Amino acid sequence: MSLPSDKTEVVKRGVQEVLIEEELKSSFLDYAMSVVVSRAIPDVRDGLKPVHRRVLYTMHQLGFFHNRPYHKSVRIVGDVLGRFHPHGDQAVYQAMVGMVQDFSKRYPLLDGQGNWGSVDGDNAAAMRYTEVKMQKIAQEILADISKETVQFVPNFDESTQEPVILPSRLPNLLINGTSGIAVGMATAIPPHNLGEVIEACLALLKNPELSDEQLFDKVPAPDFPTGGIICGRAGIVRAYKTGRGNLILRGVVVEEEEVKKGSTRLVITQLPYQVNKAELIIKIAELVRNKVVEGIANIRDESDKRGMRVVIEIKRGEIPSVILNQLYKYTSLQTTVSILMLALLDNKPVIFSLRRLIQEFLYHRRKVVYKRTEYDLKKARAKEHILAGIIIALENIDAVIAIIKKADEAQDAIIALNQKYLLSEEQAKAILDMRLQRLTGLEQGKLREEIKELKTLISTLQLILNDTASLDKEIVKELEEIKESYADKRRSRIEGPVDILSDLDLIPEEDVVVTLTKKGYIKRVPLKTYELQHRGGKGKMGMISLDESDDIVQDIFVTSTHSELLFFTNFGRVYCMSVFEIPEGSRIAKGRAIVNLLKMLEGETVVKLLDASDLTGKFVVMLTKNGVIKRTTGDAFVKIRCTGIRALSLREQDELVFCTISSGEDSIVIATAKGQGIRFHEKEVRQMGRQAAGVRGIKLKEKDFVVGMEVANQDTEILVSTAKGYGKRTHISDFRVAHRGGVGVRTIPTGDRNGDVIGIAQVGADSQILLIDNAGKIIRISPQEIRTLGRQAQGVRLIRLDDDQLLSSIASFQELHTAQAVASDTPYKPVLKQEASEFDEGEDIIDEDMLEDEVIEEVELEDEEEIEEEESEE
């Protein structure tokens, strides 16, 4: 067949040329509107999509009511497909499945028998196996459909008619909700409690000017078939006002204590709406396997006919609230439910507020009741007309019988009766059809009584049609009957709003030891790992040997996982990080390079860690290797950005080596490697900005440098430790108060026995001491086992070091709340016998320059704001 070459020939054959762009545009719009109107979006009046409406109407016609036997689902699907819905059979059947499942619909419309699926995600059995009938509440949606209350249109092949809408005495769109995705739009209306919605309908009928607050008191929130906990109402109120919003929905979890095992269990008794229980359990198991959630020992499903019960066993010592927060964050145990109240109004998609949804339902009910009343009035008048004719015939029964006997056929009798008694054709036919039983006196009395009742009914119906208040009373009566018959208690609890879960909420609060090496390897280890030991013990390995890498541990910090740490570097900069962000390691792990955690500059190393949890009203005291000291308010180090900020300005050949926190009324003790120390009041160092360089704190001798600084009060003691594992406690009163900038006094003799001083620590009655050597071995001791000695005493052994090992760090801390709850395998007992000091206490060695008060020139900048771009270029 050859193609036509002439355009005229094309037109003659009935083919019209069109632009493909216009055809695509027109065809797609037609398809899109078909999806919106005929498939995916419900009507605002009865809350049903076409397929659900056709299923219910088909079952109504077949008589599959709630008080009748069950019938095979395939019978209904076949009728729906053959008469109203020319689509796939699975589309119809899945619509029926949704109307049967009590975990999908708040008020199921169909009553199913057989396997209709489960909350575990199991599919329903094939339609040939399942049986179904209507629920009683579904018949309220179809009530009065035979009374010309709704419009009917021809079906797809014009073989029968189907309703455009159902009368629906229920606000079905709100009580059962809906969801659907069309072309370019979607709807998501959550289910609500029937009693609450009807209360709102009654309130709006009584007072159309009801305020939003009063209306939302009637309907405070959605009510889901699976229960759950609704967290906060802000998003719900927004949705009720604008049609768009969301809510946070959590499952219900109860905590159970198992006394015999001494463990705790979390039991899930309700799930959020449309959450698959089996998938949730699998997800929790994956989190445990991947060590995202580490506190769960076992999980099992104990659900049965009595209800849902998913048991999660918690490991001993774990905090259930933290595990629960982790489940909320990483699983669907907490979900966000979106609300978009879109529905069809006159075949146009509209986003409704709660008020308008109820108003449209009430308007629909007014129209239905009005049309029903018209229908009832027409029927009552017709019946009254017939009965009036029968009464006339009874009053003239002999003459009427004579007329009928004389007539040759029925039509002649009708004409004769019309002429004689002015009876209409309907009345005459009723007289001809009347049974002889009606001629008795009793029957005549009944007829007159029936006419009287009909007149009363007609008056009532006319009043409903003519008076809006009477019409509303009829609607109120029906709504109250619906509430009385079907309303139940709310299933979803409403609680206060919850904050967005941060990483901190997912971390159990416990005391940890943060270890930092000279080469910048950092880790955190639970404090309970290090049991309390005694002075002179061998210690536990706290890290693998660092000899081969020439690395030593330089800092130990005891803090809580919920704290923030400040990282002060040798460049005089400071960075911030949460403790829980520091990788957790084992007791012998080396840790992770800190350069992978902080955005530090090239050649920059961390020299000191400080706890940033409580800096308000306090000061940060910084000390450089060359003895320059500076004091800055703690508020200057709050909310530090990830790239760090400048903490102080450094002079050439100097670097920051020590930081601590002071109250503003303390004494400062500085110690050097060669055994010198000085004490002065911190107010001698005036408060400076972050850009300042500071003033001289101690005058150093040749080849000496600062190894420690403590902020102390009048009643404290200072523990001095040396490289070879010796140390002593000295009362702070032994360090006379001097002026800053002096040479200081002897802290402990240094030499072959002791070696250089490696650090000092402030100790008290509740203090604990951590000592670590350059091999990574750690011992935790009580300072009560160390005798208080004078400044000149050589000290006692703190830790027994192996050959060629040196002590590298010392840290003092007080028992925190978590540490106190951990039972030590080795209970503390005071050691009475002390190692004898080899030297008696001597006189203070005082340098002539001790009172010297030379001040290093301060480098104060007028603008103390953080340097951002310039520092980043460096």
How does pLDDT run across 520-535, given as a tens digit for each residue? 788 888 877 765 555 5
Q: What is the full DSSP assignment across 589-619? A: ---EEGGGTS-PPTT--EEEEEE-S--TT-E
The pLDDT value recorded for residue 351 is: 95
Residue spans of the domains in the chain: they are: 48-167, 252-332, 509-851
CA dihedral of 326, 332, 333, 339, whole degrees rounded to 10: 120
Residues of the chain with pLDDT under 50: 1-3, 10, 544-550, 816-874
Residues 6+ apart with CB under 8 A from 478: 169, 365, 369
622: left (phi over 0), alpha (psi -120 to 50) or beta: beta
What gap in Å lies between CA 477 and CA 366, rounded to an integer?
A: 13
Spatial distance between the Cα atoms of 539 and 534, rounded to a whole number of angstroms: 9
Distance (Å, whole) CA 290 – CA 140? 52
Q: What is the per-residue DSSP string for 210-271?
A: --HHHHHHHS-S---TT--EEE-SHHHHHHHHHSEEEEEEE-EEEEEEETTTTEEEEEEEE-
383-419: pLDDT as tens digits: 888 888 888 888 888 888 888 888 888 888 888 888 7
| CB of 112 closer than 8 Å to CB of 132 | yes
Residue 797 forms beta bridges with which residues?
A: 726
CA distance readout (Å), 402 to 393, 407, 420, 421, 488:
12, 9, 12, 13, 65
The 3-state DSSP class for residue 703 equals coil
* Cα dihedral across residues 85, 91, 97, 99: positive or negative: negative
Residues in the chain, overall count: 874
Q: Do 48-167 and 509-851 agree at the fold level?
A: no
This prediction has a pTM of 0.66
pLDDT at position 635:
80
Q: Yes or no: is domain 48-167 CATH 3.90.199.10?
A: yes
d(CA 325, CA 509): 13
Q: How far apart are CA 567 and CA 598, in angstroms?
A: 9
Distance, in Å, from the CA atom of 666 to the CA atom of 169, rounded to the nearest integer, reads: 79
Tally the C-alpha atoms within 13 A of residue 869's C-alpha that lie toward its C-beta.
Answer: 0
Could you say which of 57, 70, 107, 129 is catalytic? 129
Record the tokens describing residue 710, joined without a space: 């403590």
Residues 417 and 710: their CA atoms lie apart, in Å, by 125
User: CA Rg, the chain, in Å?
Assistant: 45
Instruction: Give me the helix-helix angle, 468-486 and 441-466, nearest 10°.
Output: 100
* CB 795 within 8 Å of CB 710: no
Annotation marks residue 107 as catalytic: no
Q: Which CATH class is domain 252-332?
A: alpha beta
Structure tokens at 768: 């604990």
Long-range contacts of 155-163, Cβ-Cβ distance < 8 Å, separation of 24 or more: 155/83, 155/84, 156/84, 156/86, 159/83, 160/83, 162/54, 162/57, 162/83, 162/84, 163/53, 163/57
Which superfamily does CATH assign the domain made up of 509-851 to?
A: DNA gyrase/topoisomerase IV, subunit A, C-terminal (2.120.10.90)
pLDDT in tens, 713-726: 777 888 888 888 88
